[in-house]
Amino acid sequence: MKIGFDPKKYLEEQSKFILERVNDYDKLYLEFGGKLLFDMHAKRVLPGFDENAKIKLLQKLKDKLEVIICVYAGDIERNKIRGDFGITYDLDVLRLIDDLRSYGLDVNSVVITRYEDQPSANIFMNKLERRNIKVYTHRATKGYPTDVDTIVSDEGYGKNPYIETTKPIVVVTAPGPGSGKLATCLSQLYHENKNGKIAGYSKFETFPVWNVPLKHPLNIAYEAATVDLKDINMIDSFHVDAYNQIAVNYNRDIETFPVLKRIIERITKKESVFKSPTDMGVNRVGYGIVDDEVVQEASKQEIIRRYFKVACEYKKGYADTDSLERIKLIMEELSLKPEDRKVVLPARERSTKLKEEEGENCVGSAMAIELNDGTILTGKASEVMDAAAAALLNAIKYYGNISDEIHLISPVILEPIRELKCKMSGNSTSYLNSEEILIALSICAATNHTAQIAMEKLLMLKNCQAHSTTILSAVDEQTYRQLGIDVTSDAEFASESLYYNN
């Protein structure tokens, strides 16, 4: 893989800049946007970026910081799913606590925001408190966003309980957007200043990259990743007016800046040091780019992946028409086609060939995988396994230099698993998915040396690219994600079944 980003340079620059900002205050509340861990979007668009760079940055500063995690009560109530992990936001909070602790970081508490006594939120609070994790609840702020007098009063932020903190940097993070991080920071600023402490606010948001051109594919890839939020990159006019310097930000930050500036000035009772929303940020990721051409190409590929993702979500009913039309416009803006993703045509060609061989009634589910050496292999669905599972087996056979004619998994192992699955699911045509095939392979590996060799090659699939001609099951998608394979799908279901096709 060609490298376009220097993670070491980035970490040095970023930590230095945060410490400089901390020196201005007794305490700095640092709102962390995006993903604190496993930032796969950044890794894909900035080849060379460490997916856990942010957490390693915080680890360097761990003696000076503690973490508050926010989660919106409404997201808990409706079981909102974090797409990249396939888990609900409340479970992601638990995962985040475990991961932060594994890096030696101090988790202060969890804040349930916009709390309205939701039953699911109450259960989650009980779960946390019974594991000795401090929990606070913040209700919707009265008067927000326009009535500054009410917001900055005992009826506004003053209604929220004060969260006791002891370290100079307080990182406020969350499982996803709209979790109430900003409101929590401002509420704390209100209480700190009321108690006579000099507290400040800054924002750590990786994208869009403020010192990269507005129409750079890297910034457009951010728009593609947030089509559901309807984020639009814009020139920060406040920054241009203040410094005569072009800076890129996004619409929500620019629109809310005047009100946010007034709120901070009312809290601190002095003129804000921030002249623009870009000023509020501590984002130095642009300084880590070492090969712009590599970053541009990686960003274009990410946009195509996002196109397939939105198209599939629209087909499944999760995305709206506006999101689908928006991602299409983004593709057109950069003159991109779905076929510009190398694995798309081989997968579709294999599918077409299957239909020709087996008749039009054949769905022709096929999967193509591009390996790290550039080789493209395919797999097809059969009565035994789906296309995703077949492609995985073909890939590890290739890496293990194992002949196609050799069966890695004995029928003695396969058939009982298939039979059990049919009985449990009630579906007489159940074939095995990639997770089930890998479990069967691991069983065979205990007594079969060839299967063991194949199993050992699974790690070589990390960073490979894959495409399916039909929408993947949730299990297949999760398995590929866990293996580190970037996978996309055409927006076509594998069968006419409504329940058994999920």
Domain assignment of residue 381, given as a range: 342-489
pLDDT reported for residue 352: 92
pLDDT reported for residue 501: 59
**Cα distances (Å, whole numbers) of residue 478 to 50, 85, 117:** 21, 7, 33
Instruction: Say how far apart CA 453 and CA 450 lie, in whole Å.
Output: 5
450 in the same domain as 347: yes
Question: Cα-Cα-Cα-Cα dihedral of 45, 46, 51, 52, to 10°?
Answer: -140
Report which DSSP code applies to 288: G
Q: Give the 3-state DSSP-derived string for 339-377, with helices as H, strands as E and coil as C.
A: HHCCCHHHHHHHHHHHHHHHCCCCCCCEEEEECCCCCEE
User: Looking at 288, 315, 350, which one is the last position of a domain?
Assistant: 288
What CATH number did the domain enclosing 46 receive? 3.10.630.10
pLDDT reported for residue 421: 82
257 in the same domain as 188: yes
Neighbours of 118 (CB within 10 A): 17
Residue 145 lies in a domain: yes
Residue 309 lies in a domain: no
The per-residue DSSP string of 84-109 comes to: TTTEEHHHHHHHHHHHHHHTT-EEEE
Question: Cα-Cα-Cα-Cα dihedral of 165, 167, 168, 173, to 10°?
Answer: -60
Q: How many independent structural domains does the chain possess?
A: 2
Distance of CA 199 to the CA centre of its chain: 30
Cis peptide before 213 (omega within 30 of 0): no
- Give 113's strand partners: 72, 138
Residue 17 lies in a domain: yes
Residues 466 and 368 sit within 8 Å (Cβ to Cβ): yes
Residue 366 lies in a domain: yes
pLDDT reported for residue 1: 77
* CA-CA-CA-CA torsion sign (120, 126, 129, 130): negative
Q: Is 426 left (phi over 0), alpha (psi -120 to 50) or beta?
A: left
Q: Is 488 left (phi over 0), alpha (psi -120 to 50) or beta?
A: beta
Place of tokens 């009772």: 269
Helix, strand or coil, per DSSP, at residue 29: strand
What CATH number did the domain enclosing 382 receive? 3.40.140.40
CA nearest to 316, candidates 474, 101, 487, 104: 474
Q: Tell me the two tokens of residue 151.
A: 């917001």
27-32 and 87-88 beta bridge pairing: unpaired
pLDDT reported for residue 498: 67
Residue 121 lies in a domain: yes
Q: Give the 3-state DSSP-derived string for 6-48, with helices as H, strands as E and coil as C.
A: CHHHHHHHHHHHHHHHHCCCCEEEEEECCCCCCCHHHHHHCCC
**Cα distances (Å, whole numbers) of residue 108 to 65, 69, 146:** 10, 8, 31
Residue 360 lies in a domain: yes
348 in the same domain as 284: no
Residues 156 and 141 sit within 8 Å (Cβ to Cβ): yes
**Number of residues that this document lists for the chain:** 502
67 in the same domain as 190: yes
Residue 460 lies in a domain: yes
Q: Tell me the two tokens of residue 63.
A: 């003696």
Residue 358 lies in a domain: yes
Q: Tell me the two tokens of residue 473.
A: 């099951």
Which secondary structure element, helix H or strand E, spans residue 234, and what is its range?
A: strand 233-235
Residues 466 and 372 sit within 8 Å (Cβ to Cβ): no
Report if pTM > 0.85. Answer: yes
**Please, how many CA atoms are within 13 Å of residue 168, restricted to the half-sphere of its CB?**
13
391 in the same domain as 262: no
Each residue's pLDDT, cut to its tens digit, for the chain (502 residues) gives 799 999 999 999 998 998 888 888 889 999 998 788 889 999 999 999 999 998 998 998 899 999 999 999 999 998 887 766 778 999 999 999 999 999 999 999 999 999 999 999 999 999 999 999 999 999 999 998 889 999 999 999 999 999 999 999 999 999 988 899 999 999 999 999 999 999 999 999 899 999 999 999 999 999 999 998 888 999 999 999 999 999 999 999 999 999 999 999 999 999 999 999 999 999 999 999 999 999 999 999 999 999 999 999 999 998 999 999 999 999 999 999 999 999 999 999 999 998 888 776 666 799 999 999 999 999 999 888 999 999 999 999 999 999 988 989 988 888 888 888 887 766 656 789 999 999 999 999 999 999 999 999 999 999 999 999 999 998 999 999 999 999 999 999 987 776 655 5
Q: Tell me the two tokens of residue 332.
A: 């057109």
Instruction: Say how far apart CA 356 and CA 408 lie, in whole Å.
Output: 28
485 in the same domain as 372: yes
376 in the same domain as 268: no
Cis peptide before 208 (omega within 30 of 0): yes
